[in-house]
Amino acid sequence: GIQVEQSPPDLILQEGANSTLRCNFSDSVNNLQWFHQNPWGQLINLFYIPSGTKQNGRLSATTVATERYSLLYISSSQTTDSGVYFCAVVPREGSGTYKYIFGTGTRLKVLA
């Protein structure tokens, strides 16, 4: 099955710093989402981005589907950005159930 690898696995930043999180996937995908899981466990949608670039405030994301990767950029990080970031993909080749496969996650800690 498809492999979804995220890097780095752990990241510690000083407040105000910028960062780039990466999601590599081993096969073609139909859908791709980025989520932020806050310290209370809630999964929050950041982007639905199977291709192209999107921006929402301090966050932006780019997916290059032909090269099988997606990037999440966080600018001017804040302590509230702490948590785990997941990408999740729906493989293009599958049983037709279009189920999401989650990546390994990047654990981010932003220090005040």
Partner 1 sequence: EAGVAQSPRYKIIEKRQSVAFWCNPISGHATLYWYQQILGQGPKLLIQFQNNGVVDDSQLPKDRFSAERLKGVDSTLKIQPAKLEDSAVYLCASSFSGGRGSYNEQFFGPGTRLTVL
Check binding of 56 to partner 1 (CB under 8 A): no
User: Can you say how many angstroms the Cα of residue 86 is from the centroid of all Cα atoms in its chain?
Assistant: 5
* CA dist., res. 16 & res. 78, Å (int): 6
Quick one: which segment of 13-21, 32-40, 62-70, 75-83 binds partner 1 (CB under 8 A)? 32-40
* CA dist., res. 32 & res. 10, Å (int): 21
User: Can you say how many angstroms the Cα of residue 23 is from the centroid of all Cα atoms in its chain?
Assistant: 6
User: Can you say how many angstroms the Cα of residue 61 is from the centroid of all Cα atoms in its chain?
Assistant: 8
Check binding of 33 to partner 1 (CB under 8 A): yes
Q: Are 65 and 29 in contact (CB under 8 A)?
A: yes
Cβ proximity to partner 1: between 13 and 89 the closer is 89
Q: Which amino acid is at 49?
A: I
Of positions 14, 56, 66, 97, contacts partner 1 by CB under 8 A = 97
Min dist. Cβ of residue 43 to partner 1 (A): 4
Of positions 42, 51, 53, 76, contacts partner 1 by CB under 8 A = 42
Point out which residues bind partner 1 (CB under 8 A).
30-31, 33, 35, 40-45, 48, 86, 88, 90, 95, 97-100, 102-105
